[in-house]
Chain A
Amino acid sequence: MAKYLLLKHYRGGPAPVVDFPPMDQWAPAEVDAHVQWMHDFATRLQETGEFVNHQALSAEGTFVRHGGEGRPPVTDGPFAETKDLIAGWLIIDVETYERAVEVAGEYSAAPGPDGEPICEWLEVRPFLGSAPTVAE
């Protein structure tokens, strides 16, 4: 088995193929349907024994760095125009890369306005694992 991170972006990645308004402009029932669908999707992956973790992230963040010995950390942002903005992730533990791509394809079909699949781009990134015992 290998773990993969399926990364959702608010911005960044290829141009969207479906042009839909931000979620706060959907009908409440459409938002509910979307949230329920996400929940069911995670449950299905739990049942197949492939679910590890999922999280959603706030749309705003702050950049932080070390500010020098004895000084407070330096902060910057939030930036309204950051090119790449991560929205959340799903971590799965699956048998093959092909399966990871398949799951991402299904995950991208979450319903949007009018129940149509939003077809958002998801980034699939393999985890670096631990070294095998028999290596040489």
Chain B
Amino acid sequence: MNETLLRELIPAVTGVLVRRGADFATAEDAVQDALLRALATWPTEPPADPKGWLITAAWRKFLDATRAQSSRVARETRVAAEPPPGPTEDTADTLQLYFLCAHPSLTPASAVALTLRAVGGLTTRQIARAYLVPETTMAQRISRAKRTVSGVRFDELGDVATVLRVLYLVFNEGYSGEVDLADEAIRLTRQVRSMTQDEEVSGLLALMMLHHARRDARTTPDGALVPLAQQDRSRWDTELIAEGVAILQAALARDRLGEYQAQAAIAALHADAQTADETDWVQIVGWYDELDRLTDNPVVRLNRAVAVGEADGAQAGLAALELVDRAVPRYPAVEAYLRERAGDLALAARLYGDAARAATNIAERDHLTRQAARLNGVVRG
């Protein structure tokens, strides 16, 4: 049994403990303990019934932890009386765990950490490495998050939109360390989709797949960004694109549009073009209009200006840009791009320089610096 399959079992095991009467925080600690033991012992002693092994090991840990506070005999009697869990309850419990870990009372970072541990089945060490913080810091972040949600009733119905926001954050973090968070986000979103009927879950899953399919082509081997128009499209994962498009089409057919479906539709139109020149920018502008209506987000209007520039020319793009707040991040980068296409190379070079200084990540800063250097070279002749 590989580690991913082991991690698949984690939320269901926590669900069993909670249904048996354990409180979430203690149950989750007990399951993490069982997980660490499984990671250490299963390679040499694989269990016949992995899930049963985890439930037994976690339940013992839970009893050890609570022995001091309550009558052990009473609890054990209750355990013996407990019927084995059925598959339907499993699903409901797992979904409930997602809601709890994404509870609105948590800050985004706490919700992400708790989700990765309690439903993702990652160890604290793995999560700490992925976010480049010490393990003790991450452990505290997780236990504070658990305290925050300790008053939430486990059967309180949550809002799937909060879960999707957390999964989107996990996906966008990409990967560093031993865990690929993008893969992990896709796995978890797939699991949520199997438990719900929400079109936006499908929309987010499709969006993730369509972006993930292009990942290898997005950077050079030494980490430099490759813009969409210059990517080697033969390196896109066509199988993943086909799956994402199929999931999106099924969702769109149900006619309950949301922002993730609209974003995925834009990604699908890019994925659909054999070459950058064949991109259907007119349709993409249409989807940005839908997104703008759905979200009222200035970043959407910024991206829309790029699309308008491609569909109707740089002057039209610059006119669309005038509707955007100049304080929006990446504004100078977009203006630089449109100015270059409009033929104003000196201004574009200066704006690329401004954009590079304002960049919040290294790959983007280096990319923008190269653009500025390229244009300055042309301007100097």
Interface residues of A (CB under 8 A from B): 1, 3, 46-53, 93, 95, 126, 128-136
Please list 30 pairs of residues, one from A and one from B, whose beta carbons are closer than 8 Å in the complex, sorted by A's number: A1-B109, A1-B131, A46-B140, A47-B140, A47-B144, A49-B140, A50-B137, A51-B133, A52-B133, A52-B134, A93-B133, A95-B107, A95-B108, A95-B109, A126-B360, A128-B365, A130-B176, A130-B361, A130-B362, A130-B363, A131-B364, A132-B172, A132-B361, A133-B171, A133-B172, A133-B174, A133-B215, A134-B171, A134-B207, A135-B364
The B contact surface, by secondary structure, is helix
Additional 4 contacts, C-beta under 8 A, given A46-B134, A49-B109, A130-B363: A49-B141, A52-B132, A129-B362, A132-B174
Q: Report the bound CA distance from A60 to B315 in whole Å.
A: 56
Contacts of A3 in B (CB 8 A): 132
B residues 183-211 touching A (CB-CB < 8 Å): 207, 211
B110 within 8 A of A: yes
Within 8 A of A (CB), among B251-281: 263, 270
Find the B residue at minimum CB distance from A132.
B172
Instruction: Kindly provide the distance from the CB of B102 to the nearest chain A CB, expressed in whole angstroms.
Output: 16
Residue of A nearest to B307 (CB): A136
* CB of B182 within 8 Å of the partner chain: yes
B225 contacts chain A at the CB level, 8 A cutoff: yes
Contact A131 B363 (CB under 8 A): yes
Q: Are B109 and A128 interface neighbours, CB within 8 A?
A: no
- Which 9 pairs from chain A and chain B are nearest by CB? A49-B141, A131-B363, A1-B109, A49-B140, A132-B172, A129-B361, A128-B362, A131-B361, A133-B174
Please judge, given known A-B contacts A126-B360, A128-B365, A130-B174, whether A51 and B134 are in contact too, CB under 8 Å: yes
Would A49 and B137 be within 8 Å (CB), given that A1-B131, A129-B361, A133-B211 are in contact?
Answer: yes
- Are the C-beta atoms of A51 and B137 separated by less than 8 Å? yes
Contacts of A133 in B (CB 8 A): 171-174, 182, 211-212, 215
Tell which of B110, B173, B362, B364 touches A49, judged by Cβ atoms closer than 8 Å.
B110
Residues of A within 8 A of B182 (CB): 133
Establish whether residues A93 and B144, one from each chain, have CB atoms under 8 Å apart when the complex forms: no
Q: Which residue of chain A lies nearest to B266 when distances are taken between CB atoms in the complex?
A: A136
B138 at the interface (CB under 8 A from A): yes
Contacts of A46 in B (CB 8 A): 134, 136-137, 140
B94 contacts the other chain (CB 8 A): no
- A48 CB contacts on chain B under 8 angstroms: 140, 144
Residue B228 at the chain A interface, CB threshold 8 Å:
yes
Contact surface of B with A, Cβ cutoff 8 Å: 107-110, 113, 131-134, 136-138, 140-142, 144, 171-174, 176, 182, 207, 211-212, 215, 225, 227-228, 263, 270, 303, 359-365
Determine the distance from Cα of A11 to Cα of B141 in the docked complex, in whole angstroms: 35
Q: Is the CB of A136 within 8 A of B228?
A: yes
Bound-state CA distance A78–B365 (Å) is 33
CB-CB under 8 A for A128 and B138, given A133-B211, A133-B215: no
CA distance in complex: A135, B364 (Å): 10
How far does the alpha carbon of A95 sit from the alpha carbon of B172 in the complex, in Å?
16
Task: Tell me whether A128 and B211 are in contact (CB under 8 A).
Answer: no
Contact of B137 with A52 in the complex, beta carbons under 8 Å: yes
CB-CB < 8 A to A135: which residues of B?
225, 364
The chain A residue sitting closest to B330, CB to CB, is A135
Chain A residues near B132: list those with CB within 8 A.
3, 52, 93
Whether A131 lies near B110 (C-beta < 8 A) is no
- Complex CA gap A130/B131 in Å reads 11
Q: Would A53 and B134 be within 8 Å (CB), given that A47-B140, A95-B109, A129-B361 are in contact? A: yes
- CB-CB under 8 A from B107, the residues of chain A are 95
Min distance, Cβ B139 to any Cβ of chain A, angstroms: 8
Does B360 contact A93, Cβ atoms closer than 8 Å? no
A51 neighbours in B (Cβ, 8 Å): 133-134, 136-137
Chain B residues near A136: list those with CB within 8 A. Answer: 227-228, 270, 303
Say whether B140 contacts A128, CB under 8 Å. Answer: no
A136: shortest Cβ distance to chain B, in Å?
Answer: 5
Q: Name the residue on B nearest A52 (C-beta).
A: B133
CA distance in complex: A19, B207 (Å): 57
